[in-house]
Chains A and B, each alone.
Chain A
């Protein structure tokens, strides 16, 4: 990728979007009210969609916004409103072993960062340039070509998930 193709504001937008994503993630796991957590999760999802756009993946960004922020989050909000909220807000929010979980998470982060710091030289300095403009067309051709079988399996998986969700949530079959 030659320097002329690099957008000028890339570092600024990268830090803005990743900061938004991490802030949203922090709010998701600390808020008392589950609706607030869901709204923070939407912020994270949109920020990650922005990061996909910066990685030249517009189709994945669109899928992220439509399926995640549009579909899955609506499902979450419906379920939050079906189960009663008033009682859980007044209760303890973290379980009894939360310090263990926190320490384990921090150890995992230290492990990741250690591995990245040690393996830094394995990453190429410059990302390879992608052919721009026909990302969606290429993904479509691959989905219906190379990945045809996996695509059909995924549709079957969604069918099974729909059946499972309906059977589980129905009062009497």
Chain B
């Protein structure tokens, strides 16, 4: 088998990214939509670390750490909104959350 290059990692990250996009676009359960967003952020992190390896620096790794921080903040706020919404409407399906639609 040939040596693993940066391109291999990029293809894996693209596959993970697309899986996350499909999850966001097709699922009804909000918790799984949030998990798909985590998949997307992981794909981006994998790209950043792969490029960091390709150029021999550490800036990509630093950036990926900041993205992990962002993911934690996003998950905390998103799940807080979800709990508040579930308390009011008794549902966690995205297509039933249409209060702002007219």
Among A56, A60, A138, A150, residue most surrounded by chain B Cβ atoms (within 10 Å):
A60
- Which of these, A11, A31, A123, A162, contacts B4 with CB under 8 Å? A11
User: Could you tell me the distance between the alpha carbons of A130 and B49 in the complex, rounded to whole angstroms?
Assistant: 13
A128 and B25 in contact (CB under 8 A), knowing A44-B16, A52-B49? no
CB interface residues, A 22-68, toward B, < 8 Å: 22, 25-26, 28-29, 31, 34, 37-38, 41, 44-45, 48, 51-52, 54-57, 59-60, 63-64, 67-68
Contact between chains at B39 and A161 (CB < 8 Å): no
Instruction: Give the chain A neighbours of B92 by CB distance below 8 A.
Output: 83, 88
Chain A residue nearest to B83 (CB atoms) is: A169
A139 and B28 in contact (CB under 8 A), knowing A25-B15, A44-B42? no
Contact between chains at A101 and B25 (CB < 8 Å): yes
Contact between chains at B16 and A147 (CB < 8 Å): no
- Which of these, A68, A105, A161, contacts B77 with CB under 8 Å? A161
Contact indicator per residue, chain B 30-73, by CB within 8 Å of chain A (1) or not (0): 01101110110010011001101111101101101110111111
Chain B residue nearest to A98 (CB atoms) is: B26
A48 and B80 in contact (CB under 8 A), knowing A28-B35, A41-B35, A94-B28? no
Tally of contact residues, A, Cβ under 8 A = 88
Residues of B contacting A: mostly: helix
Contact between chains at B36 and A28 (CB < 8 Å): yes
Residues of A contacting B: mostly: helix
A26 and B79 in contact (CB under 8 A), knowing A6-B3, A51-B46, A128-B55? no
Instruction: Give the chain B neighbours of A127 by CB distance below 8 A.
Output: 5-6, 53-54, 56
Instruction: Give the chain A neighbours of B93 by CB distance below 8 A.
Output: 88, 91
User: Could you tell me the distance between the alpha carbons of A160 and B9 in the complex, rounded to whole angstroms?
Assistant: 34
Contact between chains at A48 and B7 (CB < 8 Å): no
Contact between chains at B76 and A83 (CB < 8 Å): no
Would you give 6 A-B contacts (Cβ < 8 Å), ordered by A? A44-B16, A45-B42, A94-B28, A112-B17, A161-B72, A168-B83
Could you list which residues of chain B lie within 8 angstroms of chain A, going by C-beta atoms? 1-12, 14-29, 31-32, 34-36, 38-39, 42, 45-46, 49-50, 52-56, 58-59, 61-62, 64-66, 68-77, 79-84, 86-87, 92-95
